[in-house]
Chain A
Amino acid sequence: MSLNTRRKLLPWLFIGPGLLWLLLFFLYPLLNQASVSLMTGNPEQGYDLTWAFHNYWDAISEYKEQFGRSILYAGVSTLLCLIIGFPLAYFTAFHAGRWKSFILLLIILPFFMSYVLRTVAWQLILSDDGTVVSFFRTIGLLGDDGRLLASRTAVIAGITYNFLPFMALPLYVALEKIDPRLLEAATDLYASRTTAFRKVTVPLALPGIFAGSLLTFIPACGDFINAALLGTPQQYMIGNVIQSKFLNILDYPQAAALSFTLMLFILVGIFLYARLLGTRNLTEAAI
């Protein structure tokens, strides 16, 4: 074998096994899912591919509310994560001093306790006879028979909680990279702190905001644990529908149609978002 061919083959040798895995268990399932979404039938007679494009129309019109909710809740949660996470990341990057790695550790640490279990803990914290609810009632934010659990607030709070670290960490990474001298230079040049923040810090933190938002929004959109444990059917998101259609009702075609639609929506969303923020290289920004 000539050196040249070897050179050409070598990277594929390295990439091959991993790529094959992704082709077999990521790409193929997606294409297959597209085909399942066009099937008709029932669990008794089995399902056959009949190119039933109406599955999409049926599924979307039937579950547009859950779709809308997924996008709304994920969007609000992402925004809340940004509002909570940005000052946290900013403080950690610029003012934490020797506490820096300790704070980072604290941000990561909840990851190592089961996601489901922490969400169950929220059930307990927000329960109707709990302290949080009675506090909110005392200060008048909740009516006497108002509740937090099994409400939209609880679901959004839960999602925000669960994905906050995904926002805070990329924000920190981006802010950390900013040379403080740049900010000094800006203020030296008679920019107010606000202007310096707006014109220097935020643009430089943009990759972090971009990455953090994606890392929060995408999983939040497909999440169903928070809605299942902290919400009621009026808060169910598209993930709940996909899950129950696949596992309980065994309506595979509609489930696949919903899942495929969600995937397409997210891909288009990412693309538009990247365009909007002017981030050219998707991959690098998200990483």
Chain B
Amino acid sequence: MSAVTEVTPPAPAEETAPPSGGSARTRDRLRHGGLALWSVLALLYLFIPVFIVVLFSFNDNQGRFNFTWQGFTFRHWADPFADPDLAKALTNSVEIALISTAIATALGTFMAMALVRYRFRGRSTVDFFVFMPLSSPEVVLGAALLAMFLTLNINTGFVTVVIAHVMFTVSYVVVTVKARLEGMDRHIEEAAMDLGATEWTTFRKVTLPMIAPGVAAAAMLAAAISFDDYVITSFNAGQTQTFPLFIFGATRQGVPAEVNVLATMLLLGVLLLMAGNVLIQKSLARRDTMRAD
């Protein structure tokens, strides 16, 4: 509260009624403090469940339920894949995420390139069309696909889940890659072409490396969405079990602590990946500045 004693510079009139003793700075501080507190609370709100999930991966639960704290143990961490159904569900989810991400990233990247690079008839229609799945509730997408598989007599299962996941992640890829492309300098590619590179070579040697971070981000987003999807998958999975479906099913009998372990491991994995990415970016940036010198 030292600001009160300070002589305030003739600050621009604040409100209509000028404050008497309290200075603008005190109020600024209060405002900052309030904002900071609010943000901390909001982040806490986001993290309490995460914290609970991690905590209960160490719970020494006696019965089949895992909801009262009964002591600390590493028991569940010793062999999180003990339950073959859970292990299968997890592998399915990983496989589905990898396959659908690969397809969606390929399809989406090319679409984004065409949408940014070319002016052509129907472009805005395509644009709108890409936007549509993003603006449809998942339950509608899942239900519509199931209805189609039913009428065409296609059995739902692993393949239909991949089809569904590609369908709704491709739009996210397009959007992400587009954002990267729009911020890019076209002249470098033009220069390459002027120097006699074919379009394909230019694409491979110039465009692709430049949009690579955007594509990587898009792929990661697609993988994360695919891996965690419950709604669309529940409609089209048939008998295929995925990690989210397993958890939802397990809520009826009590979710085993191994699920908490696996979820925590995944979270740690993502954190490590992000940290690694930051380190790589930093060392790359350093190398670039050194080269520039």
A residues whose Cβ falls under 8 Å from a Cβ of B: 8, 10-15, 17-19, 21-22, 25-30, 32-33, 35-36, 84-85, 87-88, 90-92, 95, 103, 105-107, 109-125, 127, 161, 164-165, 168, 187-188, 190, 192-194, 214, 218-219, 221-225, 229, 238-239, 242-243, 246-247, 252, 255-256, 259-260, 262-263, 266-267, 270, 282-283, 286-287
Contacts and interface: CB of A to CB of B under 8 A. Distances in A.
Interface string B33-56: 001101100110111111011001
Interface stretch (B2-10, B75-83, B262-270, B283-291): B262-270
A254 to B, nearest CB: 11
Contacts of B67: 124, 127
B108 A18 contact: yes
Contacts, number: 257
Contact of A218 (B126, B137, B231): B137
Looking at A14, A117, A127, the one whose CB has the most chain B CB atoms below 10 A away is: A117
B147 A29 contact: yes
A255 B146 CA distance: 11
A239 B275 CA distance: 38
Nearest to B266: A112
A270 B248 CA distance: 31
Looking at B42, B53, B264, the one whose CB has the most chain A CB atoms below 10 A away is: B42
A32 B131 contact: no
Looking at A11, A18, A221, A267, the one whose CB has the most chain B CB atoms below 10 A away is: A18
28 contacts: A14-B113, A15-B110, A18-B170, A22-B130, A25-B167, A26-B167, A32-B148, A33-B147, A33-B148, A36-B147, A84-B45, A85-B42, A87-B42, A110-B49, A113-B50, A113-B263, A114-B243, A117-B259, A120-B255, A121-B48, A122-B49, A165-B46, A214-B135, A222-B138, A223-B231, A229-B251, A267-B135, A283-B131
Contacts of A92: 39
A266 B146 contact: no
Given A91-B38, A110-B47, A115-B228, A18 B150 contact: no
A270 B171 CA distance: 18
A224 B139 contact: yes
Given A36-B147, A113-B53, A190-B13, A88 B134 contact: no
Contacts of A188: 12
A118 B50 CA distance: 6
Contacts of B274: 105
Nearest to A23: B129
A270 B135 contact: yes
B248 A25 contact: no
A85 B139 CA distance: 25
Contacts of B141: 26, 29
Given A113-B263, A262-B140, A118 B110 contact: no
B35 A116 contact: no
Given A25-B164, A255-B143, A88 B129 contact: no
Contacts of A28: 148
B147 A32 contact: yes
Contacts of A193: 14
Nearest to B176: A287
Interface of B: 12-16, 32, 35-36, 38-39, 42-43, 45-50, 52-53, 56, 67, 106-108, 110-111, 113-115, 117-118, 120, 123, 126-141, 143-148, 150-151, 163-164, 166-167, 170-171, 174-175, 178-179, 224, 228, 230-231, 234-235, 243-244, 247-248, 251, 255, 259-260, 263-264, 266-267, 270-271, 274
| Chain B binding surface, main DSSP class | helix
A16 B96 CA distance: 23
B267 A266 contact: no
A29 B263 CA distance: 33
A188 B144 CA distance: 56
A3 to B, nearest CB: 12
A68 B174 CA distance: 33
Contacts of B39: 87-88, 91-92, 103
A252 B148 CA distance: 11
